[in-house]
């Protein structure tokens, strides 16, 4: 049986790109669910993203999140089929952010990390992400 191993270098951009996409989704959900009496209501996502206050908070969160996500992704998915596993992981995180952030921003942030950990663990256990029995494990 041949098991393919992906290098850490594969996961480095994946972790940071995933953190960026998650942060974008998080900010977009917040913007889209603002109450009408909020001063930022209706200003649009692009204006929200260009707000220095938003970027000052989002940039460090993205960097820390990417730095935390990368080793987790590597250890859980390095022997898995990434074409199957990564959509499961990032799909789970983004759906979780979309559902939980309107309830509470802090809950949305926390639940994103929980979804990341749980989905990575699930991917280590399900056959669909395994190279075993797959013919594309070259």
Query: pLDDT for 70-85, tens place per residue?
Result: 999 999 999 999 999 9
Tell me whether residue 135 is in a domain. Answer: no
The pLDDT, as a whole number, for residue 90 is: 97
- Full residue range of the structural domain in which residue 100 is found: 8-129
Tell me whether residue 138 is in a domain. Answer: no
Tell me whether residue 92 is in a domain. Answer: yes
Tell me whether residue 78 is in a domain. Answer: yes
Phi, psi for 80 (deg, rounded to 5): -110, 160
Total structural domains within the chain: 1
Tell me whether residue 1 is in a domain. Answer: no
Distance between CA 104 and CA 3 in Å, rounded? 42
The pTM is what? 0.88
pLDDT at 88 over 60: yes
pLDDT at 138 over 70: no
The pLDDT, as a whole number, for residue 118 is: 98
pLDDT at 39 over 90: no
Tell me whether residue 43 is in a domain. Answer: yes
């Amino acid at each position: 049986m041949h098991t393919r191993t992906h290098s850490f270098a594969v996961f480095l951009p994946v972790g940071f790109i995933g953190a960026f996409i998650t942060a974008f989704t998080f900010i977009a959900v917040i913007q889209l669910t603002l109450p009408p009496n909020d001063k930022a209501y209706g200003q649009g996502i692009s204006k929200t993203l260009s707000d220095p206050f938003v970027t000052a908070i989002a940039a460090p969160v993205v960097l820390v999140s990417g730095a935390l996500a990368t080793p987790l992704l590597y250890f859980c998915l390095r022997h898995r089929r990434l074409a199957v596993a990564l959509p499961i992981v990032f799909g789970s995180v983004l759906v979780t952010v979309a559902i939980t952030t309107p309830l509470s921003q802090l809950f949305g942030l926390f639940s994103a990390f929980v979804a990341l950990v749980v989905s990575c663990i699930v991917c280590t256990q399900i056959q669909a992400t395994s190279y075993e029995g797959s013919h594309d494990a070259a």
